Amino acid sequence: MDRLVDLPDAWEACRLIGLENERPDDSIIVLSKPPYGPPLYWHQDMMNWNHPEAAAPWPTRVFLSYYMTDTTRENGCLRAIPGTHRKRIPLHDLLPAAHGPDIQAITDLSHPAFMDHPDAVDLPVSAGDLVINDARLLHAAHANRTGQRRTLVLQWHSLFDFPNPPSWWTGDIPQAIRDYDPSIKYESTRIPGMHLA
């Protein structure tokens, strides 16, 4: 795991897609979906939806994931709904806060948190592939219908130098970011608010 978190090829991949000023968290997370483990509900992992950084058209927080086995629909590959890091869809308003007690308590797989959304894409990977995901993106994982565990090593990185945009940025900067006042403190929340249009 030490080798993975400092892998030069991973830093190079991040550089190639334009990520800058990366600050990895001190911890890494190992998630082992056990044999015949249940699906993971639709969620996003942004903790700071009240903060103007939630309005950023560039990512400010990403997770880097390595799956330790090949993943498929059969053993619980990741799935995601493209564009949902920036655009609200009806599903957002049907989901309890990510990883909180309400969503963890849902056992009824017909709940929208487990729906087969028409815009969802599967992200099957080969063992050792690197997946980089914006914290705001709606994602989920299929159930593991095999007898082998499906292990994932994940590390969070903070990016860029908020409120400054990436060095290569030429697009508009949202008003909420132009008005950013670092002296204002924002209560952390997992529920998307006004910054998710």
Binding site for Fe ion (CB under 5 A): 45
Residue 45 binds to ligand AKG (criterion: CB under 6 A):
yes
Per-residue b or e along 19-48, where b marks 16 or more CB atoms closer than 10 Å to that residue's CB: beeeeeeeebeeeebeeebebbbbbbbbeb
Work out what residue 53 binds among ligand AKG, Fe ion, none; the CB cut-off runs from 5 to 8 Å by kind. none
CA distance 16 to 106: 40
**Residues from 87 through 146 that contact ligand AKG (CB under 6 A):** 139, 141
Work out what residue 177 binds among Fe ion, ligand AKG, none; the CB cut-off runs from 5 to 8 Å by kind. none
Is the CB of residue 144 less than 8 Å from the CB of residue 126?
A: no
Min CB(169)–Fe ion separation in Å: 26
Residue 53 binds to ligand AKG (criterion: CB under 6 A):
no
Residue length of the chain: 197
CA distance 129 to 140: 18
H helices within 40-184, ranges in order? 101-104, 175-178
Residues 15-34 as x/- pattern, contact with ligand AKG by CB under 6 A: ----------------x-x-
Q: What angle do CA 181, 99, 109 make, to 5 degrees?
A: 135
Q: Residues touching ligand AKG: how many (CB under 6 A)?
A: 8
Residues 145-164 as x/- pattern, contact with ligand AKG by CB under 6 A: -------x------------
Per-residue b or e along 69-106, where b marks 16 or more CB atoms closer than 10 Å to that residue's CB: bebeeebbbbbbbeebbeeeeebbeebbebeeeebeee
By beta-carbon proximity to ligand AKG, the closer residue of 45 and 134 is 45
By beta-carbon proximity to ligand AKG, the closer residue of 33 and 61 is 33
Work out what residue 78 binds among ligand AKG, Fe ion, none; the CB cut-off runs from 5 to 8 Å by kind. ligand AKG
By beta-carbon proximity to Fe ion, the closer residue of 45 and 53 is 45
Q: Which residues bind ligand AKG (CB under 6 A)?
A: 31, 33, 40, 45, 78, 139, 141, 152
